[in-house]
């Protein structure tokens, strides 16, 4: 199975690596996840597994949710996530998977929901430069400036183009951050130390998978021993 888990962001700290340099890491409580559904070409037209994570109180669950989890022999779960597979998996329904899936993974991608920023102006939302602090600027220091002119549609109408960047709601978006170095795995406590900041607040649910884009540098070429070089 492709290494992937649902987890909970616990917070950030720093650790020291083998060389003694500081590495900023995010601690993630990853799994254990239950396999709540297995999809095959015969049943659904493609191969996939569904992971479930986090206990939900039965009184807050609907009967369909409880029934779906009961098929896998687990209590009602809160968060689900499907992972597409290229071929049939050897995992069984109701089995639990944990961080040991990632034992030989070096880089991971993390998907989460970013922190809400509310109604944000263009300087914060799109990194616009804003206007002058002085030179006669009044009450317009953070405004976007011109959004269109009469010539925007070749003089046909005076409307702004579709998709012009303006102020609006920011945050609470699905965000994928890629190629985080996986610093450490703690199988006993189901923890992962992932380098760098992850989307969302502490306590947010994140999805972690083996990086699909990371280009792993080949190991440094081993220099031939000097004794051998002399012989040649």
Say whether residue 133 binds other proteins (CB under 8 A): no
Using CB under 8 A, which of 2, 13, 103, 149 touches other proteins? 13
The one segment of 19-27, 63-71, 104-112, 121-129 that binds other proteins by CB under 8 A: 19-27
Size of the site for other proteins (CB under 8 A): 17
C-alpha span between 116 and 171 (Å, rounded)? 4
User: Which residues, numbered 165-204, are part of the site for other proteins (CB under 8 A)?
Assistant: 189, 191, 193, 201-203
Binding mask 201-230 for other proteins (x = CB under 8 A): xxx---------------------------
Say whether residue 22 binds other proteins (CB under 8 A): yes
Q: How many CB atoms lie within 10 A of CB 82?
A: 14
C-alpha span between 196 and 25 (Å, rounded)? 5
Using CB under 8 A, which of 16, 146, 217, 221 touches other proteins? 16
If the CB atoms of residues 14 and 154 are measured against other proteins, the closer one turns out to be 14
C-alpha span between 104 and 186 (Å, rounded)? 13
The one segment of 11-19, 80-88, 99-107, 214-222 that binds other proteins by CB under 8 A: 11-19
Using CB under 8 A, which of 12, 66, 93, 175 touches other proteins? 12
Strand ranges for the chain from DSSP E: 4-16, 22-30, 33-39, 47-55, 77-85, 96-97, 107-113, 118-120, 168-170, 174-186, 191-195, 205-210
The one segment of 6-14, 54-62, 64-72, 133-141 that binds other proteins by CB under 8 A: 6-14
Residue 111, strand partner residues: 176, 207
- 13, with CB counted inside 10 A (0-12, 13-18, 19+), is exposed
| Torsion angle, alpha carbons of 203, 209, 212, 215, to 10 | 80
C-alpha span between 104 and 185 (Å, rounded)? 10
If the CB atoms of residues 6 and 28 are measured against other proteins, the closer one turns out to be 28
Q: How many CB atoms lie within 10 A of CB 67?
A: 11
Say whether residue 30 binds other proteins (CB under 8 A): no
Residues at the site binding other proteins, with contacts judged by CB under 8 A: 10-16, 20, 22, 27, 29, 189, 191, 193, 201-203
């Amino acid at each position: 199975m492709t290494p992937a888990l649902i987890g909970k962001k616990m917070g950030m700290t720093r650790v020291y690596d083998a060389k003694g340099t500081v590495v900023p890491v995010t601690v993630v409580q990853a799994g254990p996840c239950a396999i709540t559904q297995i999809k095959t070409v015969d049943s659904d037209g493609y191969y996939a597994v569904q992971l479930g994570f986090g206990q939900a109180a039965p009184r807050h669950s609907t009967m369909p949710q409880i029934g779906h989890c009961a098929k896998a022999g687990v209590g009602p779960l809160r968060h689900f996530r499907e992972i597409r597979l290229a071929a049939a998996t050897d995992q069984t329904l109701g089995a639990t998977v944990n961080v040991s899936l990632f034992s030989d993974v070096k880089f991971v991608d993390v998907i989460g929901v970013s922190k809400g920023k509310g109604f944000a102006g263009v300087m914060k939302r799109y990194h616009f430069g804003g206007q002058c602090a002085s030179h006669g600027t009044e009450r317009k220091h953070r405004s976007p400036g011109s959004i269109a002119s009469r010539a925007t549609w070749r003089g046909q109408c005076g409307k702004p183009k579709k998709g012009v960047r303006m102020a609006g709601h920011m945050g609470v978006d699905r965000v994928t951050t890629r190629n985080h170095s996986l610093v450490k795995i703690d199988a006993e406590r189901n923890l992962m130390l992932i380098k760098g900041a992850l989307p969302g607040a502490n306590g947010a649910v994140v999805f972690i998978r083996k990086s699909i884009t990371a280009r792993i540098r080949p190991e440094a070429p081993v220099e031939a021993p000097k004794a051998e070089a002399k012989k040649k």
